[in-house]
Amino acid sequence: MFASLRRRLPVVAAAAALLGTLLTVGGPSTADAAVPSTIPLKLTNNSGRGEAVHVYVLGTSLTTGQQGWADASGAFHPWPAGGNPPIPAPDASIPGPGAGQSKTIRIPKLSGRIYFSYGQKLVFKLATGGLVQPAVQNPSDPNRNILFNWSEYTLNDSGLWLNSTQVDMFSAPYAVGVQRADGSVASTGRLKSGGYSGVFAALRAQPGGWGNLVQTRSDGTVLRALSPAYGLETGALPANVLDDYVNRVWQKYATTTLTVTPFADQPGTRYYGRVSGGVMNFTNSSGAVVTSFTKPDAASVFGCHRLLDAPNDAVRGPISRTLCAGFNRSTLLTNTNQPDTSSAGFYQDAVTNHYARIIHARMVDGKAYAFAFDDVGHHESLVHDGNPLQAYLTLDPLS
């Protein structure tokens, strides 16, 4: 009935862990060391909606490793013990700004999520394994009929990573931003005018069941579009939705070599993939097989897991990330050198991740987190700064 926090690590946490390591090789800078224990988060409500907004700052403390929540002052509160069945969590909601207004709270050093909901508070519960979060792909989830969304963030000694995410669903729109030490502001996640309703319209117009991803409330309110990974789980999309493309890829690389250069700063590190006996084997420059992949199904592609599992290592994980991006963006047939980082060639095949295609096309800057490894080639909606003065989360119009 519920999804646990352990079900999926926030995208930004994984990106932050990697990027933070890369940025701090040789030790943290003076700016890194100066990151305070909390920073201000300015919430602005430009939604045009009159309902009350409820905000939640939830995550894992980077100093203690405890799961918990933060209040408006940025003070961290560990969750109490959970139960089986799950028990109600303490009310961690923070009153958000009214329509046309702004409110500033503080966020602590966490890796977690900033939820916001319209009209109703979200239902969180505690299981013996930790926090249970909304799982709206399940019709019986108590949050199913609430209009809500979340951002993901990591704040640590190396700075702030803050993103807008559509990995699980596309819903109430918002933009994120960070003010740098020099006073400049970087932002991302904003939809083009008409982009919010345009996403739902485009999904409904796309043949093959993509319109079934859209969820509405009994009063007609459009609540969200599920990600295709959840579309497969719920039966909204057919299980064979990507089979044609995957089969063509496997056929091509039975006679052609796929070259993967997973690290932009290490052009000499390359792996070479060929399909033999139904398995894509990758070799290094010495010809030794370093990892192999069975032909993935749609669930593995859309979720970037299972048959495309990406462990946090130096070989299989980076290759899998690259394959996942290539499958979702349908670039594996048009470019034998991956990753293909030029968005001009993305989503051009008739068989592709139309959910990701439609969302990216309606973003002002073209950036989104529409699948787990949308950061391959830096096409994700993420802001980062090593010495942030302030973070921003702006609720945008649902139009």
pLDDT at 380: 98
302 with 165, same domain: the answer is no
**pLDDT, tens digit (0-9, with 9 covering 90-100), for 200-247:** 999 999 999 999 999 999 999 999 999 999 999 999 999 999 999 999
Helix (H, G, I), strand (E, B) or coil at 225: strand
Percent residues over pLDDT 90 in the chain: 91
Q: What is the CATH number of the domain that holds 314?
A: 3.30.920.50
**pLDDT, tens digit (0-9, with 9 covering 90-100), for 258-267:** 999 999 999 9
The candidate with the shortest Cα–Cα distance to 110, out of 76, 83, 139, is 76
Residue 221 in any domain: the answer is no
Read off the pLDDT band of 15 (50, 70, 90).
very low
Single-letter residue type at 156:
N
Average pLDDT of the segment spanning 37-49: 97
Number of CB atoms found within 10 A of residue 138's CB: 16
End-to-end CA distance of the chain: 31
64 with 95, same domain: the answer is yes
Catalytic residue set: 152, 168
Read off the pLDDT band of 34 (50, 70, 90).
confident
Domain count, the chain: 2
**pLDDT, tens digit (0-9, with 9 covering 90-100), for 91-121:** 999 999 999 999 999 999 999 999 999 999 9
Sheet holding 125-127, edge to edge: 3-4, 130-133, 125-127, 87-88
Question: How far apart are the C-alpha atoms of 251 and 231, rounded to whole Å?
Answer: 27
Question: How far apart are the C-alpha atoms of 113 and 9, rounded to whole Å?
Answer: 10
Distances (CA, A) of 187 to 82, 176, 198: 37, 6, 22
| Cβ atoms of residues 120 and 146 within 8 Å | yes
Range of the domain at 57: 3-212+356-395
193 with 328, same domain: the answer is no
| Cβ atoms of residues 52 and 203 within 8 Å | no
Residue 80 in any domain: the answer is yes
Considering 318, 335, 350, which residue would you say is the last residue of a domain?
350
Q: What angle do CA 261, 263, 269 make, to 5 degrees?
A: 55
